[in-house]
Structure 1
């Protein structure tokens, strides 16, 4: 029973994966605002990655631009100019005209007021001259710019007027009940004529208005139809959705874009279908428009505002353009001049005139070029979350963290590319954030789990060896108990670091008992070599060894002792490797780093628990040198500080000049090959390698490659030579800056 409970509640990579998948699905269903925000931003990037698309030829923009303001005067213009614009567009053959502006107040006209006052005075004086009265009526008619504009609208017979809704109680608080009722009367002819309602309910999840701000009565009566031009940005201020219906009272009203299209398409049936959950669909004739439950369309932006043809109104009024540009076209009239139009943010632009949104929606509907997110896409989202989560969980549980990270990046890249392809080719919006969140969280969760379990394993091994010290250290401490006090001294010492390569991979192949036996055998042999050279076994760090030479006993030849220890460890390892191979056990390989310099040595810790150890930059460099063996494919790397002390007795080759991460100064590093008395077997090889290194630092890439290739022939498959051949080829294709010092900067510790 106890085993069953432990197994049930124990942690494993599979359980972590399943937990993360359920977490992602729960967050997906809950529609967390942060993830929704990130998905919207990802949608914008998909638009940008897709690029601009050419609109149809049906829609053009007549702009109140800087040029028009300069020539025709500051906006708003007198309505006689607007009437002239309508007459000209009608003459040019425009098929449908829409206004992205509202004329909510009568035109201010001083001449008309003066004529009204004159007419009143004449009436008060009792003058009844028919000619005079007729003349006054004619002049008042000419001065009534609202009437002039209304008649132009009537003559055209194809004008759609724009208006806006008050969508909050605060916006409409200045209106009386009569004002609200009157405004609704002005737009009543523009409501959706056919509304199919299945299962009535009190409230629908769509935008509701408190009142309208329509055009003045003469203009509203003169226009064939009208439509609202309200826009509603998302939480980040970007416009991505556009409402195709707003509810006012018991009626539903279309936007300017739909009203213009209704006229352009010669008055097809316009219908709105409502279900209990909200809007199911909107139809204009045979065109079915996909919307969400709020009646919003996802705008398929085609590019910046100049994606559509834009013509200056002053050029239209003054007949500077070819009529063919407007024949049978939808003409949307609105402002683009700075300071006049309302700025909108879209995926393509942070400064986008609102008129462009109407033009885009018209083009989307007319060509049925919709970005779709039907209900069944949620099933795809869920499937992808589960699939990618399981793939990541299976992979990361079987490989090392770095490899898992690389594979995770591949999965992320693959889904991003697939998602982009589906969006660009099929106009389908699939979720991208939750699958990526799942991949990342599975990776982090399992990596932390593996790290904890591996560290627990290493801690068990470390506990069996951490109190082992050489007899000389114990004797030295007994001679001078004061050395047990906390604190340290600065001394010139040598430090050796060794580490097993691929320890995690080896540990996965063995049972715990086999692993402990293998590691004990290895550490015993290595520790014996340290003690043989009278070194201080500072500590075991899991499978790593840190040894110090020159403390606590003074050893003037500590650099040589450290190097002899390194070579002795390699000799012992070769014996063990042969033994393990014969026994069919995994073979270990190690890297060793040796550095000499000033270090702080002594007891570090607290009164209750302390360790006799060393610290300082020289110690850190020794650790870095051990890690550099991975870069160069070597086993023993020593610093120039150690090399200067051993060059007369030990044989080395210069490997590189490196700048370790976090440091500005460079240091030369060497590979320790053997004792100088045995140098004959290395001399030719090292000479050729050194020549290549000189050519490399002189940026003579071809000559350097030739030298390193010769070196690999002398010493078959020499990893440092192969590394330099690769570097030379890369630097040949991408030369370093002038004045390059030949120093290689390490990007990893």
Structure 2
């Protein structure tokens, strides 16, 4: 009957399917809601803030490592070397305040736009120099210079102090004239900061100043300074931060409109967080000037020695100069996002540089983060419940954080800050909840086997192995099998690890292992493990095959071909080329899920495994990249020429083992096959002559071999035997005393 449905909508089967689908949809919706709510609660409680901050610090350090403070901003530091040098003429710090008056004179001569002192001159100098109650000459000179040079900005602080028995001056009004002179009159802000105390320069200096800037800064909960408040409220009035004060020199009566995530200063838009704070886009290089060099240049100018000035004053022309301290004893060292021991003045200089260059970081508003959280959870649900292949699910789920890392990284390069952790956390929670649900509903046993084997075999082999999952589970008790085992490692890796940076060593290994793993999988191998720079694989399990020796040797030859590709990839990454050695042995081993209750490895153990490792270790002695044992050669089911290398006793073994170099067969290299047969034949004849003590014949035959180190090895042995008589018990076997 045309159009007849195989399953009626009213049939019990259809009802069961519909009911199961509805249950699954409800579970998915529940997972989505619970996950999103859990992430938003964690966000509101700040539980992932430390992680997000740490990731931000890492990325901003990488992104901004090559950036330089804008040329219009200069930093002058009272550093350790300057203190040592200037103490010879000025005595111990603190110096007489005429020093700072002379700084103003120098920068006025240089044509600086503004000079900002990140130094609190709150107490009169007489406490240090024992003057009378009147203002000291040094203080008076600084006051005079400040009044004379209106481009100077002095530091002040507003604080939120706690009330105790010794503190009774909280919430005091600012001194007369301070609000009228230094506050910003036209401000629209919803700022909620409640500050109740203040620290101003000494009264005479405050009166002489044209500008004050607030230098306070609060670290994040991890102690890192990442943000600066741009507006400081006090009793209903607003005052400029240190980094905002220079703008008021040219724009003395700005209109400031502050709203969450941005502040408008006249026509200038400054990105902020929701609390009027600028997230600092740090610089990699602040190019600070030691204060001692400034005074050296100033003295040279006063003396008329203009030929070789320590600093050209015109470097400061039209610049905004921030003066601060980096000497440890002055206690102004702060932890910044990219520098855990930075002078505090860097904070203010960076903030001002961000403002004038429109280089501030724009923080994504909450709806962006929430949308990303919901999208991540939905994507995880779609992948887990809709993609049939488990390996593809994992690949796509793993790709999502990588893609999000790339997206947020690109945003940061454009000065956009988007939370990375919260969407990834939503993805992880959704994935965890979904797989937990599936583990209770869809064959936990098979999933465990599949998960275990997926890291060892290719996708094609995994599908075959799953048909034998019960047998594989029983392997937990240990079974004896005949397998072919391959070991490979990088020649001279110790040198790489000692000379290359750690990150380049990891990049090199990942590139090598990625390519070689594919070769193992393409030849139906089981990738057992990575051991430092070495890798181990075997053939014959979990899928039992009779030609495991052929597959192992074919994989080894393919690896030697693929190493050319690896070296090209390494060259593209500006990493050195590598060489590898490969050893293969075939024998009886113990196969099983070996480990503890917490971690199991599907692996092999036994003497045959150890011998495979020894085969790899002796490749360099014969100058060949690949060595197989006699048992592997005898297990080959296809015709393959093999060049005999030697009979050896490896470390820990008494029984000699013939070892060979397998050569490409007719199918692999039809044009060179006859040549490979001739090499194997000549090698066999040469070795037979060598064992028989026919030195002349052995010399002539080994001279025909195309392997230089192998040829030279035997020619050297023969020359030695001609000079020195053979040992009494010589049996033609070479004994290795080391691994």
Same-fold call, TM > 0.5?
A: yes
2:243 corresponds to which residue?
Answer: 257
2:607 corresponds to which residue?
Answer: 667
1:489 corresponds to which residue?
Answer: none
How far residue 287 of structure 1 moved from its aligned partner, in angstroms, is 1.1
- Measure, in 1, the Cα distance between the counterparts of 2:646 and 2:44: 62
Q: Does 1:57 align with 2:38?
A: no
Please, which of 130, 152, 159 is the counterpart of residue 152 of structure 2? Answer: 159
- Give 1:206-221 correspondences, 5 Å limit: 206-221=192-207
Unaligned runs of 5+ in 1: 117-139, 198-203, 460-498, 509-518, 523-539, 550-557, 564-590, 594-624, 639-651, 672-678, 715-738, 744-749
- Measure, in 2, the Cα distance between the counterparts of 1:289 and 1:225: 21
2:141 corresponds to which residue?
Answer: 148
How far residue 388 of structure 1 moved from its aligned partner, in angstroms, is 3.5
Q: Does 1:442 align with 2:442?
A: no
Q: Does 1:331 align with 2:321?
A: yes
Q: Does 1:223 align with 2:237?
A: no
- Measure, in 2, the Cα distance between the counterparts of 1:635 and 1:171: 86
Say whether the 8 Å CA contact 2:78–2:327 is kept in structure 1. Answer: yes
Say whether the 8 Å CA contact 1:695–1:704 is kept in structure 2. Answer: no
Please, which of 262, 274, 282 is the counterpart of residue 293 of structure 1? Answer: 274
Q: Does 1:634 align with 2:634?
A: no
Q: Structure 1 residues 374, 665: closer, same or farther in 2, change over 3 A? A: closer
Please, which of 443, 448, 454 is the counterpart of residue 455 of structure 1? Answer: 443
Q: Structure 1 residues 350, 592: closer, same or farther in 2, change over 3 A? A: closer
- Give 1:168-317 correspondences, 5 Å limit: 168-170=161-163, 174=167, 176=169, 180-183=172-175, 186=178, 188-196=180-188, 204-263=190-249, 266-273=250-257, 281-304=262-285, 306-307=286-287, 312=292, 313-315=294-296, 317=298
Please, which of 32, 46, 50 is the counterpart of residue 37 of structure 1? Answer: 50
- Measure, in 1, the Cα distance between the counterparts of 2:384 and 2:312: 66
How far residue 13 of structure 1 moved from its aligned partner, in angstroms, is 8.3
Q: Does 1:80 align with 2:98?
A: yes
2:512 corresponds to which residue?
Answer: none
Please, which of 381, 384, 395 is the counterpart of residue 383 of structure 2? Answer: 395
Say whether the 8 Å CA contact 2:640–2:662 is kept in structure 1. Answer: no
Q: Structure 1 residues 634, 239: closer, same or farther in 2, change over 3 A? A: farther
Q: Structure 1 residues 454, 337: closer, same or farther in 2, change over 3 A? A: same
Say whether the 8 Å CA contact 1:17–1:390 is kept in structure 2. Answer: no
How far residue 369 of structure 1 moved from its aligned partner, in angstroms, is 1.0
Please, which of 67, 73, 92 is the counterpart of residue 110 of structure 2? Answer: 92
Between Structure 1 and Structure 2, how many residues are aligned?
517
1:719 corresponds to which residue?
Answer: none
Say whether the 8 Å CA contact 1:172–1:211 is kept in structure 2. Answer: no
Q: Structure 1 residues 374, 184: closer, same or farther in 2, change over 3 A? A: farther
Deviations 1:422-455 (A, max 9, x none): 210x211112112211222333333333333343
Say whether the 8 Å CA contact 2:256–2:266 is kept in structure 1. Answer: no
TM-score, length-normalised on structure 1? 0.58
1:431 corresponds to which residue?
Answer: 419
Aligned residue for 1:440, secondary structure, equals helix
Say whether the 8 Å CA contact 2:362–2:415 is kept in structure 1. Answer: yes
- Measure, in 2, the Cα distance between the counterparts of 1:713 and 1:337: 71
- Measure, in 2, the Cα distance between the counterparts of 1:740 and 1:325: 70
How far residue 206 of structure 1 moved from its aligned partner, in angstroms, is 3.4
Deviations 1:597-616 (A, max 9, x none): xxxxxxxxxxxxxxxxxxxx
1:102 corresponds to which residue?
Answer: 120
2:373 corresponds to which residue?
Answer: 385
TM-score, length-normalised on structure 2? 0.59
CA RMSD, aligned part only? 5.0
Say whether the 8 Å CA contact 1:104–1:213 is kept in structure 2. Answer: yes
- Measure, in 1, the Cα distance between the counterparts of 2:441 and 2:648: 45
Deviations 1:291-327 (A, max 9, x none): 23311111111225x3556654543553442111212
- Measure, in 1, the Cα distance between the counterparts of 2:289 and 2:544: 63
Q: Structure 1 residues 545, 351: closer, same or farther in 2, change over 3 A? A: closer
Say whether the 8 Å CA contact 1:654–1:668 is kept in structure 2. Answer: yes
Larger CA deviation: 332-341 vs 682-691: 682-691
How far residue 704 of structure 1 moved from its aligned partner, in angstroms, is 7.8
How far residue 186 of structure 1 moved from its aligned partner, in angstroms, is 4.0
- Measure, in 2, the Cα distance between the counterparts of 1:547 and 1:166: 66
Aligned residue for 1:242, secondary structure, equals strand
Deviations 1:444-474 (A, max 9, x none): 3333333333436879xxxxxxxxxxxxxxx
Q: Structure 1 residues 14, 407: closer, same or farther in 2, change over 3 A? A: farther
Q: Does 1:67 align with 2:81?
A: yes
Say whether the 8 Å CA contact 2:79–2:290 is kept in structure 1. Answer: no
Q: Structure 1 residues 4, 547: closer, same or farther in 2, change over 3 A? A: closer
